[in-house]
Amino acid sequence: MAQGEVNVTIVGNLVADPELRFTPNGVAVTSFRVASTSKKYDSRSNQWVDGDAVFLQCNIWHQAAENVAESLTKGMRVIVTGRLRQRSYETREGEKCTVMELEADEVGPSLRYASASVMRNERNSGGNGVGSQPSTGGFGGQVSQPQSGGQSQGSDGWNNPAPLGDDNPPW
Protein backbone atom coordinates (compact mmCIF):
# COMPACT_ATOMS: atom_id res chain seq x y z
CA MET A 1 0.00 0.00 0.00
CA ALA A 2 1.32 3.39 -0.94
CA GLN A 3 1.51 6.02 1.74
CA GLY A 4 -1.55 8.26 1.79
CA GLU A 5 -3.93 5.77 0.17
CA VAL A 6 -7.35 5.55 1.76
CA ASN A 7 -8.49 1.95 2.24
CA VAL A 8 -12.25 1.49 2.41
CA THR A 9 -14.64 -1.38 3.03
CA ILE A 10 -18.26 -0.90 2.00
CA VAL A 11 -21.21 -3.22 2.55
CA GLY A 12 -24.29 -2.63 0.45
CA ASN A 13 -26.43 -3.77 -2.46
CA LEU A 14 -25.53 -3.80 -6.15
CA VAL A 15 -27.53 -1.11 -7.96
CA ALA A 16 -27.31 -2.93 -11.31
CA ASP A 17 -25.65 -5.99 -12.79
CA PRO A 18 -21.85 -5.60 -12.93
CA GLU A 19 -20.56 -4.57 -16.38
CA LEU A 20 -17.56 -6.49 -17.75
CA ARG A 21 -15.44 -4.94 -20.50
CA PHE A 22 -11.91 -5.35 -21.80
CA THR A 23 -9.19 -2.77 -22.41
CA PRO A 24 -7.56 -2.63 -25.88
CA ASN A 25 -4.77 -4.78 -24.38
CA GLY A 26 -7.28 -7.46 -23.36
CA VAL A 27 -7.31 -6.75 -19.61
CA ALA A 28 -10.69 -7.42 -17.98
CA VAL A 29 -12.31 -4.68 -15.88
CA THR A 30 -15.72 -4.88 -14.23
CA SER A 31 -17.57 -1.77 -13.05
CA PHE A 32 -20.44 -1.78 -10.59
CA ARG A 33 -22.22 0.55 -8.14
CA VAL A 34 -22.90 -0.24 -4.51
CA ALA A 35 -25.63 1.47 -2.49
CA SER A 36 -25.07 1.47 1.26
CA THR A 37 -27.73 2.80 3.62
CA SER A 38 -27.10 3.32 7.31
CA LYS A 39 -29.78 2.43 9.85
CA LYS A 40 -30.68 4.69 12.76
CA TYR A 41 -32.82 3.86 15.76
CA ASP A 42 -35.66 6.34 16.23
CA SER A 43 -36.45 6.34 19.95
CA ARG A 44 -39.68 8.26 19.38
CA SER A 45 -41.18 5.56 17.14
CA ASN A 46 -39.14 2.68 18.65
CA GLN A 47 -38.16 1.59 15.13
CA TRP A 48 -35.08 1.41 12.95
CA VAL A 49 -35.23 3.88 10.06
CA ASP A 50 -33.08 4.30 6.96
CA GLY A 51 -30.40 6.96 7.08
CA ASP A 52 -28.74 8.59 4.09
CA ALA A 53 -27.70 6.35 1.21
CA VAL A 54 -24.15 6.37 -0.16
CA PHE A 55 -23.63 5.28 -3.78
CA LEU A 56 -20.08 4.31 -4.70
CA GLN A 57 -18.77 3.41 -8.16
CA CYS A 58 -16.37 0.44 -7.97
CA ASN A 59 -13.93 -1.12 -10.45
CA ILE A 60 -12.09 -4.43 -10.23
CA TRP A 61 -9.50 -5.76 -12.67
CA HIS A 62 -8.09 -8.96 -14.21
CA GLN A 63 -9.46 -12.42 -13.33
CA ALA A 64 -11.34 -11.03 -10.32
CA ALA A 65 -13.27 -8.79 -12.74
CA GLU A 66 -14.47 -11.82 -14.69
CA ASN A 67 -15.37 -13.63 -11.46
CA VAL A 68 -17.44 -10.67 -10.22
CA ALA A 69 -19.28 -10.29 -13.54
CA GLU A 70 -20.06 -14.02 -13.60
CA SER A 71 -21.07 -14.37 -9.96
CA LEU A 72 -22.89 -11.24 -8.79
CA THR A 73 -26.15 -9.65 -9.91
CA LYS A 74 -28.31 -6.60 -9.23
CA GLY A 75 -29.70 -6.45 -5.70
CA MET A 76 -27.14 -8.78 -4.11
CA ARG A 77 -25.67 -7.65 -0.81
CA VAL A 78 -21.88 -7.44 -1.23
CA ILE A 79 -18.75 -6.58 0.71
CA VAL A 80 -16.14 -4.60 -1.23
CA THR A 81 -12.72 -3.54 0.00
CA GLY A 82 -10.18 -1.45 -1.87
CA ARG A 83 -8.59 1.96 -2.31
CA LEU A 84 -10.59 5.16 -2.60
CA ARG A 85 -9.54 7.18 -5.68
CA GLN A 86 -10.44 10.65 -6.89
CA ARG A 87 -10.82 11.00 -10.64
CA SER A 88 -11.40 14.18 -12.64
CA TYR A 89 -12.82 14.39 -16.14
CA GLU A 90 -14.46 16.85 -18.50
CA THR A 91 -17.97 16.38 -19.92
CA ARG A 92 -18.85 16.90 -23.58
CA GLU A 93 -20.17 20.32 -22.62
CA GLY A 94 -16.77 21.25 -21.18
CA GLU A 95 -17.82 21.00 -17.55
CA LYS A 96 -15.13 19.73 -15.18
CA CYS A 97 -16.23 16.98 -12.79
CA THR A 98 -14.58 15.08 -9.97
CA VAL A 99 -15.77 11.70 -8.71
CA MET A 100 -14.71 9.31 -5.96
CA GLU A 101 -14.37 5.66 -6.98
CA LEU A 102 -13.31 2.49 -5.23
CA GLU A 103 -10.55 0.47 -6.91
CA ALA A 104 -11.61 -2.87 -5.48
CA ASP A 105 -9.14 -5.48 -4.30
CA GLU A 106 -11.71 -7.93 -2.91
CA VAL A 107 -15.41 -8.41 -3.67
CA GLY A 108 -17.76 -11.03 -2.33
CA PRO A 109 -21.33 -11.72 -1.34
CA SER A 110 -22.38 -10.76 2.17
CA LEU A 111 -23.45 -13.86 4.05
CA ARG A 112 -25.36 -11.96 6.71
CA TYR A 113 -28.75 -12.68 5.09
CA ALA A 114 -27.78 -15.28 2.48
CA SER A 115 -25.63 -18.32 1.82
CA ALA A 116 -23.28 -18.97 -1.08
CA SER A 117 -21.50 -21.87 -2.74
CA VAL A 118 -18.01 -20.94 -3.85
CA MET A 119 -15.86 -22.84 -6.34
CA ARG A 120 -12.17 -22.14 -6.79
CA ASN A 121 -11.12 -21.38 -10.38
CA GLU A 122 -8.91 -23.91 -12.11
CA ARG A 123 -5.60 -22.57 -13.35
CA ASN A 124 -4.14 -23.14 -16.78
CA SER A 125 -0.46 -23.90 -17.21
CA GLY A 126 0.40 -20.18 -16.93
CA GLY A 127 0.18 -20.28 -13.14
CA ASN A 128 -0.45 -16.56 -12.70
CA GLY A 129 -4.25 -16.67 -12.77
CA VAL A 130 -4.50 -14.93 -16.14
CA GLY A 131 -6.51 -17.07 -18.51
CA SER A 132 -7.79 -19.37 -15.80
CA GLN A 133 -11.10 -21.10 -16.32
CA PRO A 134 -13.84 -19.72 -14.04
CA SER A 135 -16.51 -22.06 -12.72
CA THR A 136 -20.01 -21.74 -14.10
CA GLY A 137 -23.08 -20.86 -12.14
CA GLY A 138 -21.62 -18.28 -9.77
CA PHE A 139 -22.67 -17.98 -6.15
CA GLY A 140 -25.54 -20.30 -5.30
CA GLY A 141 -25.79 -21.60 -8.88
CA GLN A 142 -25.30 -25.08 -10.21
CA VAL A 143 -21.63 -25.61 -10.88
CA SER A 144 -20.53 -28.00 -13.57
CA GLN A 145 -17.13 -29.59 -13.22
CA PRO A 146 -14.89 -29.07 -16.27
CA GLN A 147 -13.72 -32.28 -17.86
CA SER A 148 -9.98 -32.57 -18.35
CA GLY A 149 -8.34 -34.89 -20.84
CA GLY A 150 -6.26 -37.27 -18.75
CA GLN A 151 -6.06 -35.55 -15.38
CA SER A 152 -8.00 -37.09 -12.54
CA GLN A 153 -10.28 -34.68 -10.66
CA GLY A 154 -9.44 -36.53 -7.46
CA SER A 155 -5.85 -35.27 -7.55
CA ASP A 156 -6.91 -31.64 -7.02
CA GLY A 157 -7.58 -31.07 -3.32
CA TRP A 158 -9.55 -27.87 -4.00
CA ASN A 159 -12.07 -29.74 -6.19
CA ASN A 160 -13.06 -32.25 -3.50
CA PRO A 161 -15.17 -31.19 -0.52
CA ALA A 162 -13.83 -32.14 2.90
CA PRO A 163 -15.80 -34.84 4.73
CA LEU A 164 -18.13 -33.51 7.41
CA GLY A 165 -16.43 -33.00 10.74
CA ASP A 166 -12.95 -33.14 9.18
CA ASP A 167 -10.93 -29.92 9.55
CA ASN A 168 -7.90 -31.28 7.68
CA PRO A 169 -7.17 -30.24 4.08
CA PRO A 170 -8.28 -32.83 1.49
CA TRP A 171 -4.72 -33.67 0.36
In a domain, 128, yes or no: no
Percent of the chain with pLDDT over 70: 70
- Tally of structural domains, the chain: 1
- The reply to whether 134 falls in a domain is no
Residue 155 covered by a domain: no
Mean pLDDT value across the chain: 79
The per-residue pLDDT for range 6-19, each reduced to its tens digit, is 899 999 999 999 99
Please give the share of the chain, as a percent, with pLDDT higher than 90: 53
Q: How confident is the model at residue 170 (pLDDT cuts 50, 70, 90)?
A: low
In a domain, 46, yes or no: yes
User: Is the residue at 165 inside a domain?
Assistant: no
> Can you give the residue range of the structural domain that contains 9?
1-111
What is the widest separation between alpha-carbon atoms in the chain?
68
Flag the least confident range among 54-63, 78-87, 144-153: 144-153
Domain assignment of residue 18, yes or no = yes
**pLDDT score, position 119:** 82
132, part of any domain: no
Classify residue 162: in a domain, yes or no. no
The pTM for the full model equals: 0.65
Q: What is the pLDDT of residue 75?
A: 94
For position 34, which CATH number holds? 2.40.50.140
Alpha carbons 85 and 104: distance in angstroms, whole number:
10
- SS3 of the chain: CCCCCEEEEEEEEECCCCEEEECCCCCEEEEEEEEEEEEEEECCCCEEEEEEEEEEEEEEEHHHHHHHHHHCCCCCEEEEEEEEEEEEEECCCCCEEEEEEEEEEEEEECCCCCCCCCCCCECCCCCCCCCCECCCCCCCCCCCCCCCCCCCHHHCCCCCCCCCCCCCCCC
